[in-house]
Copies of this chain bind each other. A is one copy, B any other.
């Protein structure tokens, strides 16, 4: 257990692990303290996500390039996935959809904007011209379009009942997963030199033994699942108390919490003037949500949810995700950044959050 303890001691973020037992205890003692449980659950998930991300990387390192890349790619958004599955089981479909859309927006506006801002405060102008970056932006743009096309194109009122929306979403989910499989083939096999894995080079402390890494992966997954369940069951009531809609919680809070670990890596890379890596993490993570997490949740909803979930996002979410993705592609295409570019990306994010806070889409009938 030495490397794990060493890791915890050296990383202040992991001291927040104390909130994991706290939230479990409070849940047993005062199950009706919804607001406290909600806040504690958020605080507990952040360090667990960091640990999960580190364990995944350690396993990936030990298993060689191909399988390791696959693991990293599929487990990279494991936290988001576990939270969403808990919400799925509770039938909180608005929360699930909001967390999918919010994760894409958070990765492409907040993670990227904060990277540009933090990098720009230390370096005057930052250039990042890797050809692979431009390819990532194309992939993200197309992944998002593929995810949103039915919601953007189809006139919802024409859907005769929910059956048609569900069939369309199931077909779409299968297509997206095929695209995801092809993207892995592309980035891990046929064109892996374009995505050279410098990204994960110094991400963690390295060097965990494989047994510890797999053990941590399993234990932490269970812990995240437990805490997520508390989170989801308290969010409704806590939201009412704090005046937050499920849409706002999913879009902003779940997305920020789930991506905390990746953000730490991206921000530190930006400050080291390695913007290529920050851009690649932000774009790659957003693509993965669209091509993998979203369709897996649709298919899982047939097994674990009270009824199948469709992918019909509410119109405002479609607009926000499209704006975030197009902006992010346009900005990264330029290949040059300064602090104000980051500041403006963050402004757009804050405006989205403000709008969502004041005008929640909760009363929409079709969701």
Q: Which residue of the partner chain B has the closest CB to A153?
A: B316
Q: Is A191 an interface residue (CB 8 A)?
A: yes
B145 touches A348 (CB 8 A): yes
Separation of A154 and B178 alpha carbons in the complex (Å): 34
Docked Cα-Cα span, A316 to B355, in Å, equals 20
A43 interface hit (Cβ, 8 Å): no
Task: Please measure, in the bound complex, the distance between the C-alpha atom of A359 and the C-alpha atom of B149, giving whole angstroms.
Answer: 12
A252 to chain B, nearest CB (A): 13
Interface of chain A residues 323 through 343 with chain B (CB within 8 A): 323, 326-327, 329-331, 333-334, 336, 338-341, 343
Most chain B beta carbons < 10 A, residue from A131, A326, A359: A359
A269-304 contacts to B (CB < 8 Å): none
Would you call A141 an interface residue if the criterion is a C-beta within 8 Å of the partner chain's C-beta atoms?
Answer: yes
Q: Could you say which residues of chain B place their CB within 8 Å of the CB of A67?
A: none
The CA-CA distance from A145 to B146 in the complex, in Å, is 22
Q: Is the CB of A336 within 8 A of B135?
A: yes
A33 within 8 A of B: no
Count of chain A residues near B, Cβ 8 A: 69
Query: Is the CB–CB distance between B179 and A358 below 8 Å?
Result: no
Contact B145 A327 (CB under 8 A): yes
- At the interface, yes or no: A139 with Cβ under 8 Å from chain B? yes
**A263 vs B319: C-alpha distance in the bound complex, in angstroms?**
33
User: A330 to chain B: which residues have CB within 8 Å?
Assistant: 138, 141, 329, 333
The distance in angstroms between the C-alpha atoms of A139 and B355, with both chains bound, is 21
Q: How far is the CA of A134 from the CA of B332 in the complex (A)?
A: 12
Which among A12-20, A167-175, A208-216 touches the partner chain? A167-175
Listed A/B pairs (30) with beta-carbon separation below 8 Å: A124-B191, A125-B194, A131-B336, A138-B334, A139-B340, A141-B327, A141-B330, A142-B341, A142-B345, A146-B344, A146-B347, A149-B352, A150-B351, A150-B355, A152-B316, A155-B314, A158-B361, A158-B363, A167-B358, A168-B354, A168-B358, A168-B359, A172-B351, A175-B347, A175-B350, A179-B347, A182-B343, A186-B338, A186-B339, A186-B340
